[in-house]
Amino acid sequence: MVMKKKSWFLIVPLVLFSAAVSAQFTWPGGAKAAVCFTYDDGLDCHLDVAVPQLDEYGYKGTFYCTGSSQSLSRRMNEWRQIVQNGHELGNHTLFHPCDGQRLDWVKPEYDLNNYSQLRILDELRAASALLKAVDGHETRTYAYTCGHYIAGGADYRGSMPDLFEAARGEGPVPSTMEGYDIFYAPSWMVTDNTAEDMISYVESAREKGTIAIFMFHSVGGGYLNVGAEEHRQLLEYLHNHQGEYYVATFMEMMDYIERNRN
């Protein structure tokens, strides 16, 4: 009889703990996790490869274009059209400044160490004004260039709520949604990874009940590349498991998280 009581007291906390973990955050439609596709730098391959594949499977992505993107300049009507079709156009600065002390390819004039707080914030405002001329949207999200947020020796993340709805950073799949920072949302930069690697990434989010955000650059050839077929296989996997994952643009995802905290 004593043994039965001890067993009961051991089981109850485990059941409650399991229920608490699974109920830590509720995703739409009973999904077990969330997945977000983001693409940096405003490249032709986004229009030519990524968007057609996303549309084929019924998913929408977020495209972080620099104001100096040649593709944005040459194919502005096509970028405008994808936003009308449900994709998101996000701010990625005008000139893609990064920390030149950490990355040797950064030009001195675009080294964040040579920026002031005023300069980076002015650049962000100018980039948003340019993008508004493309899609007409008043609100926008931001992706930190190279994941960096120190300009002239100072952290500028505190200014993001005044400029954007949310901002994407870098980092692993979160283990919990508690305290999730929508102004430095962690993401994974995909570079020559296989479809199996990417599927494992979203399955990790499913196990934790949290969110997997992809940071893509080139799709189907180019720098920081993911193969077009690998990209398609990931989309096919999500399509075949669509009841398990909530897939949305970064703006939609961060808005959902903010509205459904606690």
pLDDT at res. 163: 98
Enumerate residues 6+ apart whose C-beta is below 8 A from 83: 89, 134, 135, 137
Give the pLDDT band (50/70/90) at residue 89. Answer: very high
Q: Is there a domain that residue 198 lies in?
A: yes
pLDDT for 126: 98
Q: For residue 59, what are the domain limits?
A: 36-259
Average pLDDT over residues 158-186: 98
**Does 58 score more than 60 pLDDT?**
yes
Please tell me the distance from the alpha carbon of residue 114 to that of residue 97, in angstroms, as a whole number.
10
Q: Tell me what pLDDT residue 21 has.
A: 41
**What is the mean predicted confidence (pLDDT) over 66-71?**
98
* Tens of pLDDT, residues 2-57: 444 434 334 334 333 333 444 469 999 999 999 999 999 999 999 999 999 999 99
Domain count, the chain: 1
- Mean pLDDT across the chain, nearest whole number? 92
Q: CA triplet 87, 50, 206: central angle to 5 degrees? A: 80
pLDDT greater than 90 at residue 102: yes
Q: Does some domain include residue 15?
A: no
Average pLDDT over residues 187-207: 98
Determine phi and psi for 245, rounding to 5 degrees. -130, 135
Provide mean pLDDT across the span 171-194.
98
Confidence check: pLDDT of 81 > 70: yes
- Considering the domain boundaries, does residue 17 fall inside one? no
Residue 78 lies in a domain: yes
DSSP-derived secondary structure for 55-118: HHHT---EEEE-TT-HHHHHTHHHHHHHHHTT-EEEE--SS--B-TTT-TTS-GGGBGGG--HH
Q: Give the pLDDT confidence score for residue 18 in this predicted structure.
A: 37
Q: Does residue 26 sit within a domain? A: no
20 domain-assigned: no
If you write DSSP's letter for every residue of 1-50 in order, what string do you get? -HHHHHHHHHHHHHHHHHHHHHTSS--GGG-SEEEEEEEES--HHIIIII
Higher pLDDT among residues 80 and 3, named by residue: 80
Tens of pLDDT, residues 212-249: 999 999 999 999 999 999 999 999 999 999 999 999 99
pLDDT for 261 equals 87
Mean pLDDT of 83-92: 98
Average of per-residue pLDDT across 156-185 = 98
Handedness of CA 141, 146, 152, 157 (dihedral sign): positive
What CATH number does the domain containing 138 carry? 3.20.20.370
Q: Is the residue at 169 inside a domain?
A: yes
- State the average pLDDT over residues 195-199: 98
Rounded to an integer, what distance in angstroms lies between the CA atom of residue 118 and that of residue 209?
39
Look at residue 241 and tell me if it is in a domain.
Answer: yes
